[in-house]
Amino acid sequence: MKIWFDILTPKQYLFFEYFIQKLRKQHKIVSTSRKYQQVNGISQFGSVNPIILGKHGGKNKVDKLLASLSRTKLLTNKIEKVKPDLLVSFCSPEASRVAYGLGIPHISFSDSPQAKAVMKLSLPYTTKLLTPWIFPKSDFEKFGIDGKDIIRYRAIDAGIIIKNYKKNEQRKLKSKKIIVIRPEESEAAYITKKSKTIKIIKKIVEKFPDEQKIVLSRYKEQTENLKMVFGKDICLFSKPVNAKKLLDSTDCFVGSGGTMTAEAGLSGIPTISLNMIPNRVEEYLVKKRIIVRSESPESISKYILQSLNNPQIIRKRKVNAKKMIRTFEDPYQVLLKTIRTL
């Protein structure tokens, strides 16, 4: 079988890499992506080198639309020649439309029903949708997919990424504790909350002068703003990093509530979610006390202080995270079973 993967974000790359490594032993794999630093940069750390077709449209609605239209055409020309038997994506709008137009079955994954535009542009063209069990089918049915075509698996995607990552057991000794801060996805169409990241970083810089503060910026505008405000008070990473290796050395993580926040929490790292992306995964992990939620600079600073000075908190979080991950079902097996039904 010839299977086509369309990969649009770092999370998708890390999640699908495991699938592709297994599937390529018996099947021909074709992977595509777009010109987008967040994905193109991370591929240097992985084993998948997707064909780059089209580009990320940025945050302007007109630019997003034009980029999507252009990419749809590029994908059509490429995929019509490749002739895959199946598409697997995370509800890629362009790939969904191309697969439907060319009569290619499409298995989608999603844990982001809050991304309404993406759902509306992909689910009506999806053959089967695979999603974590914490999402009721009604979250997706309203976008045009029949409930009988929604298959739920008992796992959280970030946990699968962690589960399939082999940690470096020989950790280097650090002279300083490391606090990692991941600002919000400012160019995503589904972000509606006003950012409080600058105020939070200011408080962390003020309260923790001796710790290393690593800030992972996403876009040029965000990077320039952070550089202007904080200068040398923070260590600013503006290019994609090997997040899994970075988390190996992280003592405390502050994130916007997306995939990396979940990864940090499920790695047993004391993790604070700013809840910039209200979603069921974040809600579930907060409820299970894998992560904590706060938007208050003062509260966040207090939690960091407690975590850095209390080894018992760290040990307890690591134990709880490992227990949860052990209960997760392997979505790769669910994918294989779904393929057999097509």
pTM of the shown model: 0.91
Q: What span, in angstroms and rounded, lies between the C-alpha atoms of 20 and 332?
A: 10
* pLDDT score, position 187: 46
* CA dist., res. 145 & res. 259, Å (int): 24
Residue whose C-alpha is closest to residue 141's, from 125, 117, 124, 156 = 124
Chain centroid to CA 94: 19
- DSSP 3-state assignment of 103? coil
Quick one: pLDDT at residue 273?
A: 95
Give the start-to-end residue ranges of the domains of the chain.
2-154+328-341, 178-326
Same fold for the pair 2-154+328-341 and 178-326: yes
pLDDT (0 to 100) of residue 190: 43
Which helix (H) or strand (E) is 76 found in, with range?
A: helix 61-82
CB atoms within 10 A of CB 313: 14
Q: Which CATH superfamily is domain 178-326 in?
A: Glycogen Phosphorylase B; (3.40.50.2000)
CB 99 within 8 A of CB 17: no
- Residues 14 and 3: their CA atoms lie apart, in Å, by 17
For position 168, what pLDDT does the model report?
54
pLDDT along the chain (342 residues), means of 10: 96 94 96 88 82 91 95 98 98 98 98 95 98 98 98 97 71 78 67 71 95 89 88 89 87 90 95 87 95 95 93 88 95 97 95
The residue written with tokens 């134990």 in the block is 319
325 in Cβ contact with 161 (< 8 Å): no
Contact in structure between 42 and 27 (CB atoms under 8 Å): no
Supply the pLDDT for residue 217: 87
Tokens 């952070």 -> residue: 226
Question: Which residues, including other chains, have CB under 8 Å from residue 42's CB and lie 6 or more apart?
Answer: 10, 13, 14, 240, 242, 243
The CATH fold assigned to 2-154+328-341 is Rossmann fold (3.40.50)
| pLDDT at residue 69 in the model | 97
pLDDT of residue 166: 65
DSSP readout, 278-336?
A: --HHHHHHHHTTSSEE---HHHHHHHHHHHHT-HHHHHHHHHHHHHHHHT---HHHHHH
